[in-house]
Homo-oligomer: A and B are copies of this chain.
Amino acid sequence: QCSLDSVVNKRIQEALKEYKPSIPTKTLSCVSITSSGRLSSCPAGMVVTGCACGYACGSWDVRGTTTCHCQCSVIDWTTARCCHLA
């Protein structure tokens, strides 16, 4: 019995050393979501990495993790740059 064990264990360890599990490779994927007005939100599962605003405005903040808010007094559109791992 014990020689069987050691043979089996040795084979298993050898097999595991060569074994390369197929690991799904993920990449970073991003889209822009543009809405009129001063708010724009990412689709579910995506988060804001940056925002763009109309009227040359560079002052923005992110509400929650998915909504761009453009702060300038006059804003006609807002774009959320949204990313996730896909």
A residues engaging B (CB < 8 A)?
Answer: 1, 4-5, 7-9, 11-13, 15-16, 19, 21, 23-24, 26-32, 34, 47-62, 65, 72, 79, 81, 83-85
Contacts and interface: CB of A to CB of B under 8 A. Distances in A.
26 contacts: A8-B11, A8-B12, A9-B11, A12-B15, A16-B19, A21-B23, A23-B23, A26-B26, A26-B85, A28-B28, A28-B47, A28-B85, A30-B48, A30-B49, A30-B65, A49-B49, A49-B50, A49-B81, A52-B59, A52-B61, A53-B59, A55-B59, A57-B59, A58-B59, A61-B79, A83-B83
Contacts of A1: 7
Contact of A81 (B31, B48, B57, B72): B48
A51 B48 contact: no
